[in-house]
Structure 1
Amino acid sequence: MKTQFKPLIVALCLTTLMACNANNKKSDISNQLIAETVIETNSKTEQPEIKVALLLDTSNSMDGLIDQAKAQLWKIVNELSYAKCENENPNLKIALYEYGNDNLNAEEGYLRQVISFSDDLDEISKSLFSLTTNGGNEYCGKVIKTALNQLEWGTNEDDLKLIFIAGNEPYSQGNVSYKEASKLAHNRDVTVNTIFCGDYDQGISISWKHGADLTHGNYMAINHNEATVHIASPYDDKILELNEKLNKTYVAYGSAGRKKMEMQAEQDSNAMSYNKANAVSRTVSKSSRLYKNSSWDLVDAEKEEDFSYEDLKQSELPIELKGKSKAEIKSYVEAQSKTRIKLQDEIAALNLKRRDYVAKQNTNASNSLENAMLKALKTQAEKKNYKWE
């Protein structure tokens, strides 16, 4: 349905923070596969996890909201990096869907899973920046139900499982009832938070608040066309200078190593395309514990329990390590690791000063996607004893 308003979903399905005194149960609900190419990049971990699924409406009227998602991704990641669960640092995985686009399969409900739960932040950024808008028909109940059935939510009672859905057309469109989808969410201990892009009272009148109430979620209204404000600080240039040095500590290996390193540089460029302050936010994310690249970087891979230098093949090594002994390779990687830690510490120290500076400069409350998401996230996280440093 094409009207002045078009719905959009940002279903931020924050899930599975695996730590906090859990009771593991096996789920009877089978996964519903969508006939689309799906990117999946996960690393093994026993730490708590925050799982975030972004379900974005890519119809024409949602350009502003998609732009906010791209511009504010790194700010959200940075805020999540400060979360604690019973004194443990939870890992972060993000999934991305698009829906409401005429280019998508009508039989599938005009929706597609772009990337399943992943901790590869560069891959997630690339996926976001690949989205384009066109047309469409936007079905809130359908995309919520699909995300609930397709993604691995887990059954740990102490996990934080959240969906954020945003849009600006009636919440009840499509042949899947939002009430049915909400019931499924409630049964799986998933909280649905709704974000209406427009007038607060109008969102209530077309069921957006009711959709949140059914799972005890938050209802919020935002200005999705509000431009993202990036505040410059005196520390930005130095942080970006350290980012260039940080990139040089990566030791690409394997068949995907070189391409992944190129993607890293590409996402640096995408962040800078908004402005310097956004590139700084990405650099801060890259210096945090959430930015991990063990699938292609030897420095990160060496920290994995199942990694062994004996398993490395000469054909997988970068030029600077070809012909080197295992001992020489290990020594080189250790040196790069020490350099990286030093750079990350410097960036973190500068960022503390930067955060204080930006907080003092930013006196106007923003009515944006980022603020709506983080407000709901923290409110609901506190109910399960998650804290912020």
Structure 2
Amino acid sequence: MAEPILDYESFFEGAKNALLELDTLSTEEQRLGIESERISKAIASEKKATNDRIADTTTKRLKEITSTYDSEIKKVEEQKKAVEIKKEKAKSKKIGERIADETRDLREHIKSIKSGIKQEMKAVGIPEFCNTGWYLTFYFPHKFSDYIKLLITVVVLFLGLPVLIYRLIPEHKPIYLPFIYFVIVLLIGGLYIIVGNLTKARYRDSLMKIRAMRDNIDHDMKRITLITKDINNDSADDRYDLSSFDAEIEAANDKLSSINEKRSAAISDFENNTKKIITDEITESSRERLDNLNSELEMTKKSLSSIADRRSQINLTISDKYESYLGRDFLNTERIEALQKLISDGEAGNISDAIDLYERRKNG
């Protein structure tokens, strides 16, 4: 319950002191709030730095461990690869020798036939070009492939060639085509007949014999191809005596398995034991600073809480004891001193009169 003011001097001094204390407390509360925030950021920064150091250190140590094992694994893999290459070369050589051995009779037979063909041609006087596949296809066709070649040749010579020549002639006209066909048929057909008369007609029996001998060569070549294919498809290595290479490869595989097991064990030991030790060491090294910061933060928060409580108490006191008489507009030391002077000088008898007089003078 509000009581009448008996001592204005004490009232005004009390109001000024309360406002001064409120201002001081507010300033200190603000400062402690900033300080608390600074310390909290320092704690967060220290924790982050500690965690980053732990992560960087453990990652680096694990990388160092694995890189050593990986280097050894790479060396063994390179050695194994080198042995495998040597094995493949040795196998290829053995396969080549096996093919040569298993086709020796066929190759000797082919060589004998070729020698017989040369002797026949030399004895009769047959030109060299008669012992070619194209010649025998044109003059002694007897296989399906021969007739396919003949068909393709006819299409190219008597259809493709005339059209090509026709298009190459400047200002070509359709009337040119019959003449082009006539000339090509005359030249190619004449050449075919002349060559046939000079060779086929004169050496028919010998050429038929040569054709049969070439068929035998083709037959032997097909057999050689089949034998070669079968040997290449044979995946068994037993007959090639490659056991020394297999032993080296097996030893390399065992070594790789051993290194990988040790690598896994080292990683497991690091993750389960070493990593924790490193973490504890780094954490311990920053513990003192964190403890100091936490203690400082706790003290700052306690001070802040105490100051805040006192500021709140003073604020409520000002509201209850002074604001009800002075009003919010006059709750500052400058105006309070002005009111105090008006009353002490006898220009106003109470606070209300002093406020009215102050307002009249202020407004002119």
Is this a same-fold pair by TM over 0.5? no
Structure with the largest fraction of helix: 2
Bigger Cα Rg: 2
Higher normalized strand content (fraction of residues): 1
Q: Taking CA–CA contacts closer than 8 Å with sequence separation of 6 or more, which of the two structures ends up with the larger relative contact order?
A: 2
When the two structures are superposed, what TM-score results if normalisation uses the length of structure 1? 0.22
TM-score by length of 2: 0.23
